[in-house]
A and B are shown apart, each in its own frame.
Chain A
Amino acid sequence: MPFFRLGPGAGQDVGRSCILVSIAGKNVMLDCGMHMGYNDDRRFPDFSYITQNGRLTDFLDCVIISHFHLDHCGALPYFSEMVGYDGPIYMTHPTKAICPILLEDYRKITVDKKGETNFFTSQMIKDCMKKVVAVHLHQTVQVDEELEIKAYYAGHVLGAAMFQIKVGCESVVYTGDYNMTPDRHLGAAWIDKCRPDLLITESTYATTIRDSKRCRERDFLKKVHETVERGGKVLIPVFALGRAQELCILLETFWERMNLKAPIYFSTGLTEKANHYYKLFITWTNQKIRKTFVQRNMFEFKHIKAFDRAFADNPGPMVVFATPGMLHAGQSLQIFRKWAGNEKNMVIMPGYCVQGTVGHKILSGQRKLEMEGRQILEVKMQVEYMSFSAHADAKGIMQLIRQAEPRNVLLVHGEAKKMEFLKQKIEQEFHVNCYMPANGETTTIFTNPSIPVDISLGLLKRETAIGLLPDVKKPKLMHGTLIMKDNSFRLVSPEQALKELGLAEHQLRFTCRVHIQDPRKEHETVLRVYNHLKGVLKDYSVQHLPDGSITVESILIQATAHSEDQGTKVLLVSWTYQDEELGSYLTSLLKKGLPQSTS
């Protein structure tokens, strides 16, 4: 039964995530991301791939967005409004809240600043968000009668979720991006032993095992602390959401702990709005924040204040978080230019920088930068690099697979070479099939679906009562009638089946004659047979009836003398088909003859 198809984007690529899954006749699109590196059509997934003719809405049953990063949700307004999709879109509450802010921000940059056309509008974002259905963690949402989805916590960013998609007894888990080690503001991803047929997992860090987070945090704090104590200024270029909040919490708690007084600033705008949502969605954060928010919401920063352009010239130590993260434009670059000349100051790059940006240049050790207007900027300030990334590393991925116990694994969102290594590892350790399809490639996975059959409680109880206690490991034999009617299977007792079908019951009896050489009288033979059976069949009730017949349970045995040869007795054994097993055993027993020693 083919049930999986990898969709237009993703695959062996970190960029636009977009996966199409067909499971038991249902089509689900997982994530709808865009590629940040392109400015042309390649930016969005090729949705014509999904269906050549016919509307998307008819083809897709639902769309699921795992988290708010643009490479997972950036193409959503384009997809729903410009290509045209009216079905339900599922995402978690925080994602639904934050996603439109990011989309709007991105739209502004592309349309207003770069002046591009043929891009979605604000109204489209709004319309698109109206189609979104928000889900809670661990809430099972029935999309239609057969398709159901369920969200699990994924760490990574606020509101990130893994989704389980289930049709009948076939299921797929899509992880989105996730993080198996907790950080300062989010917990670790968790999933129960749901044993899906397929686990689609990201594999960004397929070949990396990371050091403990604590060392990195300590280094970061130490550097900031030392600089501030020296009276220097610290610039931390960040992107508005995700890591920025983690670093804020880190610094805020450190300031609190160490009783420090130097001011911390955060560039305003987008971030304030985002912080507001972090405050609201406390249940999505880590244990510490969840436990202490009654006393104080950790996101109500005491030491971190809004930044004003004029503050950059203030004397004395300070720490400033400024956007954007790669020092390529905007506020962070302005501040950098002001502070670069002083060796007391420091800039900490908390993430990866794209080639060509100022961030990349200074990280690679360049000390003289050529700015606009042929100005040469000499960088005397210290430059630090600190990686705070929230993807699961190879160990984390393995851990998740161990938790979920899937029957097949599929790797996406990573580089082919790295995935190869992980694939081999997964197959070796868990003995499950692992796939790593390329973009646009379709993978088909055959499942071995189990078919549920309803059984009446009475029958179940009756059947389990017979014999020993049920053993989990061994299949158990049951007697009943299977009725297949209206697409459903039911196992009922024969009587009920007869009643339902309006049939009369027929008795089926097997009768068998066994010849025994015995010169004695009939009733003596009967007695001998009785004694023999009684001796052999200890667990059954063997009775000698007054009319000269023997019953073993419900099996009847009668003896008559042979009409021709008086020395041969004919034993008539008769049983119903239900007692077939015992009956045939009895006949074979009697055929062996009676032991001589008895009587």
Chain B
Amino acid sequence: QQQHEDLSAKKLRLTKPSKSAALHVDLCKATSPADALQYLLQFARKPVEVESVEGVVRILLEHYYKENDASVRLKIASLLGLLSKTAGFSPDCIMDDAINTLQNEKSHQVLAQLLDTLLVIGTKLTENPSVRMRLVEVACKHLTDSSHGVRNKCLQLIGCLGPVEKGVAKEVESQAAKDVQKIIGDHFNDQDPRVRTAAIKAMLQLHERGLKLQQAIYSQACKLLADDYEQVRSAAVQLIWVLSQLYPESIVPIPSSNEEIRLVDDAFGKICHMVSDGSWVVRVQAAKLLGSMQQVSSHFLEQTLDKKLMSDLRRKRTAHERAKELYSSGEFSSGRKWGDDAPKEEIDTGAVNLIESGACGAFVHGLEDEMYEVRIAAVEALCMLAQSSPSFAEKCLDFLVDMFNDEIEEVRLQSIHTMRKISNNITLREDQLDTVLAVLEDSSRDIREALHELLCCTNVSTKEGIHLALVELLKNLTKYPTDRESIWKCLKFLGSRHPTLVLPLVPELLSTHPFFDTPEPDMDDPAYIAVLVLIFNAAKSCPTMPALFSDHTFRHYAYLRDSLSHLVPPLRLPGRKLVSPPVSPSITPHEDPSQQFLHQSLERVYNLQHLDPQGIQELLEFTIRDLQRLGELQSELAGMADFTATYLQCQLLLIKALQEKLWNVAAPLYLKQNALASAAAKQILEETYKMEFMYSGVESRQVVIIHHMRLQAKALQLIVTARTTRGVEPLFGMCEKFLQEVDSFQRCFISELPHMQGSFVDKLLDLMPRLVTSKPSEVVKILQTTLRQSTFLHLPLPERLYRASANIIEPTGESDNPLRFTSGLVVALDVDATLEHVQDPQGTVKVQVLYPDGQAQLIHPKPADFRNPGPGRHRLITQVYLSHTAWTEPCQIEVRLLLAYNSNRSKATAKIPKSTWSESTDALPQSENGIEGTIPFSKPVKVYIMPKPARR
């Protein structure tokens, strides 16, 4: 018996020549180190299977000891590390050998590489404390090496593998385990800056792994802030930040005085100081970290915005202070006097602190920095701090407003977004609003839209402010008519937020006159609509306002309420029939009539089991129609309605297909009917993918139902194929596949199965033992009956459901001027689109270009092309490169957006542990449900192009 096994093992090896053997032969053949290196390089290109890793490692080690050339040993060492990374391979068997190789190694480079290999091994065996201990010990031994590379790696190893738990250190009585922190801390003063950096990084690594760093390190870290090398300073800033988060309340003394302050304040001051460091890398780092130091006392925080101005030793007020004063004195900022910034009182020369150790003016410096990276980081930090401190938010406003005029668009955009995020805490002064509104004329659409967003949630203090905003928005509208929608939306919120401020403006805005009738404004004028949107939204919570309306205003209201229902709210108007019943406050959104209607229609559908086939179809058709209409009317329910409608549509298709006469007719006759049934199956499949991937908010309960529907469609497909094809051969495969799918369905949704009583799959699983053993023809028969008998499953609706949608803003598709370019060369087409409710657009949204000759091109936009202006919304601004051979005349191409999906990614299947496979297996069988595809989700836009033949 034993021998037999050996034999079989040998046989296996023969059929698949071992990698290790081949390598061995190669290495033995190598005559010179260069040769050997070549072989190793070639070898490294090919992956190695899990089972042969160990063998290969042994061969490599054998050569390692024989090899005299350091470069070859280096390569071997790096290969060892690479091999230990192989998934599924446990490197504990080669650890001893790897440690042994360290003993006699003279070359520093090879030593460093070997330590790197040990690090890889160690990270794969993190669960084993004794292994880690041992590796750390090895690393400590080599810490005295004279090469920075080796010390670097040692520290890295200690950082990654050093003991984090206190208990272990006591048990294992070894030198290394005593105090990793101390060992690493000793290297903070290493002579090589690279080692110093590595030491700090190792410390940070320990912190990340859960070790509580000692407070004693703080003073050491502070000294490192004055290091000559930027990497060290950058890492030290991080370390200080970590410590300030760990021990915020500890008290540290201020050097050169007897005072003491909280550690977090001290650290804050130190990091603030680094905002004016010589290296911009450090500045960015420091500015970023400032944002997350929220425990700092407000006194320190407010200092960051403070910069005492002086001129010839006399105190000067900043422009901000002047603006504020002018405002509070009731005078509008003139700014036209020479010398209104004239210096005032004398300053005591002793009191002026030119370089403060504290936080003074850190943000003032950060926001004025030369590099825009620093400015962006400062704006972000400002945002985070302001969100947690309303008083700081109020103070930093002036500075943020200033940033609206930065020379780099990204910075402007970022500061507008920041302002939006903190807008709950602030009220804009008029002079600030003035500056904010000035940006509305910006030619960048991004900026304008961000600003509209900002205005949506801004608090304005006076009616003049509202008026100013309206005037500026209207100016914006005339300059950039494409902003229409965005401006209307902005005014909607502006109106509903400030009803009392709008009220006194109404007569002026509507240009009504107490005695004279004024001409009726043009209803199609976007500016007039904008004014009305503002007024109607204000009127919603201000019942006295409608009294000021003139007759035509009411008429216009009725019109707008119908045509722009998303912008104009229902109003209770005196003496008029209400357009929609008043919403009494007692009714919760759940009992919203339209929602009720949705649920009722679904309830109705669920009873359709009891109807005759004809009735079922009719009911489904009506319900689908109702739902679709509902979706159009009620935008907030659109997702829900569409989703259910699609589901019912699938059901309808299924029922129709099953009712075809074809099932009773002899095989050759139903070719035509067959087309219908298989088309239905195909369409159901498509719809189910749409349901699964196009809606955000789909929960696993819905996913089950969707998958179930898909299973039914597949069953239908199987039946149809079985009916139409002759011969049993192809059916075997199909049946097999189908049964596999049923199986995987069961595995994925085992928890949901109890809810699926009487469904198709429920019945199918009962019959499973029979199905597995029976012939394809029988399987088909069984499937057909179960499919017919199975009940219709209820579709539970989630709380919120949104359908992904996309709208291509540019190209508009209206241009008659063809885009001319020389054939063979490329032309860039700007594509600008808004995406709503798309999750992970970077990964899923693609652009498709269809050429008239049927050629299709799929473009993956760069992740940076997506912007995120608000929750659930994305904006794609990208360039698509077109090219084609010469045409005789211009023709239209189609551009559309696709949503790519991969059913592997679906939420349900993500739970199944993936079979462990390494990169080494070349031809991996597609896992059973790894279907990838795309769903078009935007209207195609036509672009006129004309590739000209190249001139010779």
Give residues in A with beta carbon < 8 Å to B: 181-182, 184, 187-188, 190-193, 207-219, 221-223, 225, 253, 256-259, 286-288, 363-365, 382-385, 394-395, 398-399, 402-403, 418, 421, 424-425, 429, 461, 464-465, 469-473
**Distance (whole angstroms) from the CB of A109 to the closest CB of chain B:** 28
List which B282-315 residues lie within 8 A (CB) of chain A. 307-313
Pick out which of these stretches binds chain A: B207-215, B437-445, B776-784. Answer: B437-445
CA gap between A232 and B574 in the complex, in Å: 49
CB nearest neighbor in B for A225: B438
In the complex where A182-B370, A398-B355, A399-B276 touch, is A211 in contact with B146 (Cβ < 8 A)?
Answer: no
Across the interface, do B320 and A209 meet the contact criterion of CB distance under 8 Å?
Answer: no
Across the interface, do A215 and B278 meet the contact criterion of CB distance under 8 Å?
Answer: no
In the complex where A259-B441, A399-B276 touch, is A212 in contact with B370 (Cβ < 8 A)?
Answer: no
Across the interface, do A215 and B319 meet the contact criterion of CB distance under 8 Å?
Answer: yes
In the complex where A187-B370, A257-B442 touch, is A212 in contact with B310 (Cβ < 8 A)?
Answer: no
Across the interface, do A207 and B189 meet the contact criterion of CB distance under 8 Å?
Answer: no
Contact of B368 among A208, A213, A365, A394 (CB under 8 A): A213
Question: Which residues in B have their C-beta under 8 angstroms from that of A402?
Answer: 355
Main secondary structure of the interface of B (DSSP, over half): loop
Question: Which residues in A have their C-beta under 8 angstroms from that of B441?
Answer: 257-259
CB nearest neighbor in B for A289: B407
Can you identify 21 A-B contacts, CB atoms within 8 angstroms?
A190-B278, A192-B278, A207-B312, A210-B309, A212-B307, A212-B367, A222-B438, A223-B336, A257-B443, A258-B442, A365-B338, A394-B354, A395-B354, A398-B354, A425-B352, A461-B146, A465-B146, A469-B144, A470-B191, A472-B190, A473-B189
Across the interface, do B335 and A207 meet the contact criterion of CB distance under 8 Å?
Answer: no
Chain B 421-438, CB-CB to A under 8 Å as 1, else 0, gives: 000000000000001001
Give residues in B with beta carbon < 8 Å to A: 144, 146, 189-191, 228, 276, 278, 307-313, 316, 318-320, 335-336, 338-339, 341, 349, 352, 354-355, 364, 367-372, 402-403, 405-408, 435, 438, 441-444, 479
Contact of A193 among B278, B308, B406, B435 (CB under 8 A): B278
Question: Which residues in A have their C-beta under 8 angstroms from that of B320?
Answer: 215
Question: Which residues in B have their C-beta under 8 angstroms from that of A182?
Answer: 368-370
**Distance (whole angstroms) from the CB of A450 to the closest CB of chain B:** 17
Question: Which residues in A have their C-beta under 8 angstroms from that of B336?
Answer: 223, 382, 384
CA gap between A461 and B144 in the complex, in Å: 13
Across the interface, do B402 and A384 meet the contact criterion of CB distance under 8 Å?
Answer: no
CB nearest neighbor in B for A382: B336
CB nearest neighbor in B for A214: B402
CB nearest neighbor in B for A288: B407
Question: Which residues in B have their C-beta under 8 angstroms from that of A384?
Answer: 336, 338
**Distance (whole angstroms) from the CB of B26 to the closest CB of chain A:** 38
Across the interface, do A258 and B443 meet the contact criterion of CB distance under 8 Å?
Answer: yes
CA gap between A570 and B688 in the complex, in Å: 106
Across the interface, do B319 and A219 meet the contact criterion of CB distance under 8 Å?
Answer: yes
Across the interface, do B335 and A223 meet the contact criterion of CB distance under 8 Å?
Answer: yes
Question: Which of A402, A469, A472 neighbours the largest number of chain B CB atoms within 10 Å of its CB?
Answer: A469
CA gap between A497 and B273 in the complex, in Å: 51
4 interchain residue pairs of minimum CB distance: A215-B319, A182-B370, A385-B338, A214-B402
CA gap between A365 and B339 in the complex, in Å: 11
**Distance (whole angstroms) from the CB of B275 to the closest CB of chain A:** 11
Contact of B319 among A193, A211, A470, A473 (CB under 8 A): A211
CA gap between A363 and B336 in the complex, in Å: 11
CB nearest neighbor in A for B317: A211
Contact of A211 among B312, B318, B407, B479 (CB under 8 A): B318
Across the interface, do B309 and A209 meet the contact criterion of CB distance under 8 Å?
Answer: yes
Across the interface, do A429 and B355 meet the contact criterion of CB distance under 8 Å?
Answer: yes
CB nearest neighbor in B for A402: B355
**Distance (whole angstroms) from the CB of A45 to the closest CB of chain B:** 28
Number of A-B contacts (CB under 8 A): 120
Question: Which residues in A have their C-beta under 8 angstroms from that of B316?
Answer: 211
CA gap between A193 and B228 in the complex, in Å: 7
Across the interface, do B312 and A188 meet the contact criterion of CB distance under 8 Å?
Answer: no
Question: Which residues in B have their C-beta under 8 angstroms from that of A257?
Answer: 441-444
Question: Which residues in B have their C-beta under 8 angstroms from that of A187?
Answer: 370
CB nearest neighbor in A for B360: A395
**Distance (whole angstroms) from the CB of A407 to the closest CB of chain B:** 16
**Distance (whole angstroms) from the CB of A409 to the closest CB of chain B:** 13
CB nearest neighbor in B for A259: B443
Across the interface, do B355 and A214 meet the contact criterion of CB distance under 8 Å?
Answer: no
CA gap between A418 and B144 in the complex, in Å: 54
Across the interface, do B443 and A464 meet the contact criterion of CB distance under 8 Å?
Answer: no
Across the interface, do B312 and A208 meet the contact criterion of CB distance under 8 Å?
Answer: yes
In the complex where A209-B309, A210-B309, A288-B372 touch, is A259 in contact with B354 (Cβ < 8 A)?
Answer: no
**Distance (whole angstroms) from the CB of A138 to the closest CB of chain B:** 14
Across the interface, do B405 and A217 meet the contact criterion of CB distance under 8 Å?
Answer: yes
Question: Which of A209, A286, A382 neighbours the largest number of chain B CB atoms within 10 Å of its CB?
Answer: A209
CB nearest neighbor in A for B443: A259
Question: Which residues in A have their C-beta under 8 angstroms from that of B479?
Answer: 259
Across the interface, do B371 and A287 meet the contact criterion of CB distance under 8 Å?
Answer: yes
Question: Which residues in A have their C-beta under 8 angstroms from that of B407?
Answer: 184, 253, 288
Question: Which residues in A have their C-beta under 8 angstroms from that of B313?
Answer: 207, 418, 421
Across the interface, do A212 and B364 meet the contact criterion of CB distance under 8 Å?
Answer: yes
In the complex, besides A215-B318, A259-B443, 20 extra interface pairs with C-beta distance below 8 angstroms are A207-B311, A209-B354, A211-B307, A211-B319, A212-B318, A212-B368, A218-B435, A256-B443, A257-B441, A258-B442, A288-B372, A288-B407, A395-B354, A398-B354, A402-B355, A421-B313, A424-B349, A472-B189, A472-B191, A473-B189
CA gap between A107 and B308 in the complex, in Å: 43
Across the interface, do B191 and A209 meet the contact criterion of CB distance under 8 Å?
Answer: no
**Distance (whole angstroms) from the CB of A414 to the closest CB of chain B:** 12
CA gap between A161 and B405 in the complex, in Å: 29
CA gap between A363 and B309 in the complex, in Å: 23
CB nearest neighbor in A for B361: A395
Question: Which residues in B have their C-beta under 8 angstroms from that of A214?
Answer: 367-368, 402-403, 405-406
Across the interface, do A207 and B443 meet the contact criterion of CB distance under 8 Å?
Answer: no
Contact of B355 among A181, A288, A365, A399 (CB under 8 A): A399
In the complex where A217-B405, A258-B442, A287-B370 touch, is A211 in contact with B309 (Cβ < 8 A)?
Answer: yes
**Distance (whole angstroms) from the CB of B559 to the closest CB of chain A:** 33
CA gap between A213 and B407 in the complex, in Å: 12
Question: Which residues in A have their C-beta under 8 angstroms from that of B370?
Answer: 182, 187-188, 286-287
CB nearest neighbor in A for B442: A257
Question: Which residues in A have their C-beta under 8 angstroms from that of B310?
Answer: 207-209, 394
Across the interface, do A418 and B312 meet the contact criterion of CB distance under 8 Å?
Answer: yes
CB nearest neighbor in A for B412: A257
CA gap between A216 and B316 in the complex, in Å: 14
**Distance (whole angstroms) from the CB of B336 to the closest CB of chain A:** 6
CA gap between A365 and B355 in the complex, in Å: 38
Question: Which residues in B have their C-beta under 8 angstroms from that of A429?
Answer: 354-355
Across the interface, do A421 and B349 meet the contact criterion of CB distance under 8 Å?
Answer: yes
**Distance (whole angstroms) from the CB of A168 to the closest CB of chain B:** 21
Across the interface, do B191 and A216 meet the contact criterion of CB distance under 8 Å?
Answer: no
**Distance (whole angstroms) from the CB of A396 to the closest CB of chain B:** 10
CA gap between A461 and B405 in the complex, in Å: 58
Question: Which residues in B have their C-beta under 8 angstroms from that of A469?
Answer: 144, 190
Question: Which residues in B have their C-beta under 8 angstroms from that of A208?
Answer: 310-312
CB nearest neighbor in B for A387: B341
CA gap between A472 and B372 in the complex, in Å: 36
CA gap between A471 and B407 in the complex, in Å: 48
CB nearest neighbor in B for A253: B407
CB nearest neighbor in A for B347: A207
Across the interface, do A221 and B405 meet the contact criterion of CB distance under 8 Å?
Answer: yes
**Distance (whole angstroms) from the CB of B413 to the closest CB of chain A:** 12
In the complex where A382-B336, A394-B354 touch, is A218 in contact with B189 (Cβ < 8 A)?
Answer: no
Question: Which residues in A have their C-beta under 8 angstroms from that of B435?
Answer: 218
**Distance (whole angstroms) from the CB of B13 to the closest CB of chain A:** 51
CA gap between A190 and B280 in the complex, in Å: 11
Question: Which residues in B have their C-beta under 8 angstroms from that of A418?
Answer: 312-313
Across the interface, do A209 and B319 meet the contact criterion of CB distance under 8 Å?
Answer: no
**Distance (whole angstroms) from the CB of B372 to the closest CB of chain A:** 6
CA gap between A461 and B146 in the complex, in Å: 9
CA gap between A398 and B365 in the complex, in Å: 14
